[in-house]
Amino acid sequence: MSRTRTAILAALALVAGATGTAAAVVPGDVGIAAIPCSVDYKVQSQWDAGFTAAVTITNNSAAKSSWAVKWSYAGNQKVTSGWNAKISQSGAAVTANNETYNGSLASGGSVSFGFNASYSGTNALPTTFTLDGVTCNVDDGGGPTDPGDPGDPSAKVDNPYSGAKVYVNPEWSAKAAAETGGSRISNQPTGVWLDRIAAINGVGGGMGLRAHLDAALAQKGSGEEVVQLVVYDLPGRDCAALASNGELGPTEIDKYKTQFIDPIAAILADSKYAGLRIVTTIEIDSLPNLVTNTGSRATATPACDTMLANGNYVKGVGYALAKLGAIPNVYNYIDAGHHGWLGWDDNFAPSATLFKQAATSEGATVDDVHGFITNTANYSALKENNFTINDAVNGTSVRQSKWVDWNRYVDELSYAQAFRTQLVSVGFNSGIGMLIDTSRNGWGGTARPTGPGATTSVDTYVDGGRYDRRIHVGNWCNQSGAGLGERPKAAPATGIDAYVWMKPPGESDGSSTAIPNDEGKGFDRMCDPTYTGNARNGNSMSGALANAPLSGHWFSAQFQQLMQNAYPSL
């Protein structure tokens, strides 16, 4: 809970304004004189040994090209990490200097930053702040839960994408625009991936979560704006794919809660961001692994068996849903794999049941789930027009083809719509919507079929007509021949809230060879173009591009291929 204290400046009487900001009155003056600066200091979240704070500084003096805010603690508080400012501490004294991207501070302008800190005993609040050596007045409270605060968010809408712009990540946009021809798509909205604790504050000088939210506010203008976040750092993450392993060990569920989810929730709950529609994609590839890659299945892995046994995927997803779902303007979408993963009879219904278990654990309820997302970072075609699941060739069902392999679905749209119905049947709200990631499933270019394949056999019929040109539907890493899919779009089909580019095109799925790194990412042979496969891809070639960097790193060759094979074409 936030706390408030107002500091009285020497020789000045302070009059509290309607918004909780104090103004100085000079004795004998008939008006209110402008104070040099004001500081709003909020303790947003506090636990036994630490807290998260947000600071907003308003400059009432001449415009500045750089700034430094200083304060001192009376207790033993120690800043451990920060965002939107370079924060240093010497003893009790703390200094926050601007970052390169927010040094400009106009007269009357404000800038915000935040930090996590440790403490023991009493978390005494600072009483004096200075901006470039000039003392400011202080309102160190009035957090988002305080009554009377402005900016209370409106109730959730049915589809957050309807009538709204979607945030264009300036960091991804700059990389895309720097590529030859990239300006054709550099203004498209993509997801912001929070894939490790450090990403909350920004990695390597890059934008952290608050910086992205601030940029979204600037893009928003007077309309509605969606910000898309991928929340992705479970303990023992992605137990069946080494390329996307994470930093937390299988048992580190408490660290996931307190150092990852709690700080994210504290930032998203800031009333400053109440006007944004914040869409979260919750932990891709986690829960589906518990269904398909455990127990006696040929695709089982010891790591997935461990995560099923300890319950930390279920607990982590439930905790994230509960914490983030409590924020009025956050819309949670749980990852639901894709048709080539959960579309089989053995997987379809059990997955929905497991998702319900996660959505009702750790204090979460189905009301914390706004919908589900399919095909995140995958390549499954949106709609296969040249064959259906009901077709047969010479008396043999399409389901018996090597490609379909008894699946009940041949594309993402049919799967997403059917899975939505299944989810409602197990207890999810009837108003849930689906998102489909179309960032890399266009499969255009000269090799795109224009009609069905030959009816020589069911395999020639399917293989000759399918848009998805992967060697096997289980191939997932930097796929050769892939193209950009449908552009992001709200409410494109029944039950679908939006087509989205949650995976930013041009970011690698994993490295082609082993690359030492400090990101917790291993080397997965499915990203090696020479790999001949395993049970999960029918012992087929991986179909991966060569010379790929670590997952999440920029892969120019892939980006160029995606543009070349885009469908609809650019």
Domains, the chain: 13-139 (2.60.40.290), 164-564 (3.20.20.40)
Q: Name the E strands within 444-570.
A: 489-493, 496-500
Please report which confidence band the pLDDT of residue 461 belongs to, taking 50, 70 and 90 as the band edges: very high
The model's pTM is: 0.75
Instruction: For 400, list phi and psi in degrees, rounded to 5.
Output: -90, 0
* Residue whose token pair is 């041009």: 506
Whole-angstrom Cα distance, residue 381 to residue 466?
9
Tell me the pLDDT of the chain averaged across its residues.
89
Whole-angstrom Cα distance, residue 438 to residue 59?
44
Query: Looking at this protein, which amino acid is placed at residue 445?
Result: G
Tokens of 506: 């041009």
Tokens of 294: 């455990």
Whole-angstrom Cα distance, residue 131 to residue 73?
16
What tens digit of pLDDT does each residue of 41-78 get?
888 777 778 888 889 999 988 999 999 999 999 899 99
* Residue whose token pair is 């082609």: 512
Q: What is the mean pLDDT of residues 301-320?
A: 97
> For residue 184, is pLDDT > 70?
yes
For residue 284, the Cα-to-chain-centroid distance in whole angstroms is 10
Q: Is the dihedral of CA 449, 451, 455, 459 positive or negative?
A: positive
> Among the listed ranges 144-158, 508-522, 525-539, which one has the minimum average pLDDT value?
144-158
> For residue 241, is pLDDT > 90?
no
Q: Three-state SS for 120? A: coil
Query: Looking at this protein, which amino acid is placed at residue 228?
Result: Q
238 in catalytic set = yes
β-strands 129-131, 68-72 pairing = antiparallel
Judge whether 543 and 561 are in contact, CB under 8 Å: no
Tokens of 567: 């469908």
Q: Identify which has the larger pLDDT, 244 or 349.
A: 349
What are the C-alpha distances in Å from 489 to residues 159, 346, 385, 499, 535? 12, 32, 20, 5, 36
Q: If you average pLDDT over each of 34-38, 45-49, 126-130, 383-387, which comes out highest?
A: 383-387
Whole-angstrom Cα distance, residue 249 to residue 234?
9
Whole-angstrom Cα distance, residue 280 to residue 213?
13
Please report which confidence band the pLDDT of residue 34 belongs to, taking 50, 70 and 90 as the band edges: low
Please report which confidence band the pLDDT of residue 4 belongs to, taking 50, 70 and 90 as the band edges: very low
- Which residues lie closer than 8 Å to 456 by C-beta, 6 or more apart? none
Active-site residue identified among 238, 285, 335, 459: 238
pLDDT at position 139 is 60
Residue 322: burial class (beta carbons within 10 Å; 0-12, 13-18, 19+): buried
Please report which confidence band the pLDDT of residue 171 belongs to, taking 50, 70 and 90 as the band edges: very high
For residue 346, the Cα-to-chain-centroid distance in whole angstroms is 29
Whether the upstream peptide bond of residue 568 has omega within 30° of 0, thus cis, is yes
> Among the listed ranges 9-23, 72-86, 137-151, 541-555, which one has the minimum average pLDDT value?
9-23
In the chain, what are the helix, strand and coil shares in percent, each to the nearest 5?
Answer: 25, 20, 55
β-strands 22-25, 224-231 pairing = unpaired
DSSP state of 260: I
Judge whether 37 and 136 are in contact, CB under 8 Å: yes
- Which residues lie closer than 8 Å to 163 by C-beta, 6 or more apart? 223, 224, 490
pLDDT at position 26 is 29
Whole-angstrom Cα distance, residue 307 to residue 311?
6
Whole-angstrom Cα distance, residue 249 to residue 247?
7
